[in-house]
């Protein structure tokens, strides 16, 4: 919802100033965590991404006896 629509629906709405520098720093930390699991990362925004974790999952299944008995 746009801020204009939100203000119309809720006139007493208080907007808080963003801290983009902090947000960006935390986003980089999150992406570093993603990178520990896969190099196939498609960022969508500062806090969203698609990760292809197919290979790591297949590797884990190959390394265990999951259901082979």
The dihedral sign for the CA sequence 35, 38, 39, 41: negative
Catalytic residue among 48, 55, 57, 60: 48
Determine whether 48 is an active site residue: yes
List the one residue out of 19, 13, 24 whose CA is nearest residue 46.
24
13's tokens:
């709405």
- Where in the sequence numbering do the catalytic residues fall? 48
């Amino acid at each position: 919802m746009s801020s204009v629509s939100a203000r119309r629906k809720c006139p007493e709405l208080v907007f808080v100033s963003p801290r983009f520098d902090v947000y960006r720093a935390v986003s980089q930390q999150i992406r570093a965590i993603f990178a520990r699991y896969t190099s196939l990362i498609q960022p969508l925004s500062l806090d969203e991404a698609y990760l292809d974790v197919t290979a790591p999952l297949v590797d884990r299944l190959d390394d265990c006896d999951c259901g082979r008995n």
